[in-house]
Structure 1
């Protein structure tokens, strides 16, 4: 009985964070902030749902699979978000007009599609 109540609490919490991730897609102003909202809340929501699954079923095979899902989403979600954000930046998706800092500005060579490090940029400026 208590495990079912805990599983329901974890499931509701996971669904709440998934809802927050979905709302972040609509409410955030640009690609980078949308990705931040979806990756953070999405991974947490999926992890909480997998915890509910582990509690509800209580079998070792289900627990192992749920842990694998949690590990996979925790490892791959930030990498995917970084790749999508980098691709969006390089193809020219505009940043939000209130963005304060753009650390890649002036470092991306559009002809060679390469990023220059800050040390290479300083060498070019001193030359």
Structure 2
């Protein structure tokens, strides 16, 4: 029974890590394909923290009850706190620098 539990835990951790990589991929595609600064910022500040949290959660499950799990949980907390703050600071700096949000109107083509 213990081997089945370990196998299930490893499978769940693997799925979390794969899902996290998928979110990183989606954020990267958004960064490369979206038309302006604000859309790109939105894609990266939403997908990257979710991807990092999923990957770190999978790593915490794989590491088991050790001191490294506490460190991983501290990293997750740090990411959850700093990512929205950094995204807001970048958006505000972009606005003050004169970046106009993209619309479908003529004359407002992306850079």
TM-score range for the pair, normalised by the shorter chain length? 0.7 to 0.9
How many residues end up aligned between the 2 structures? Answer: 99
Q: Which runs of 5+ in 2 are unaligned?
A: 1-6, 106-111
2:39 pairs with 1:13: no
Offset of residue 9 of structure 1: 0.6
Question: Structure 2 residue aligned with 1:33, among 29, 39, 51?
Answer: 39
- Judging by fraction of residues, say which structure has more helix: 2
Report the Cα distance in structure 2 between the residues aligned to 1:74 and 1:35, rounded to whole angstroms. 16
Q: Which residue of 2 aligns with 1:91?
A: 97
TM-score, with structure 2 as normaliser: 0.82
Higher relative contact order (CA 8 A, sep 6+): 2
Query: What do residues 42-97 of structure 1 show as CA deviations (whole Å, max 9, x unaligned)?
Result: 11100000111011111331211111111111111111111111111111123202
Q: Which residue of 2 aligns with 1:56?
A: 62
The structure whose Rg is larger is 1
Q: Which residue of 2 aligns with 1:69?
A: 75
**How large is the RMSD of aligned CA atoms in angstroms?**
1.4
Q: In structure 2, the residue corresponding to 1:69 is in which secondary structure?
A: helix
Q: In structure 2, the residue corresponding to 1:59 is in which secondary structure?
A: coil
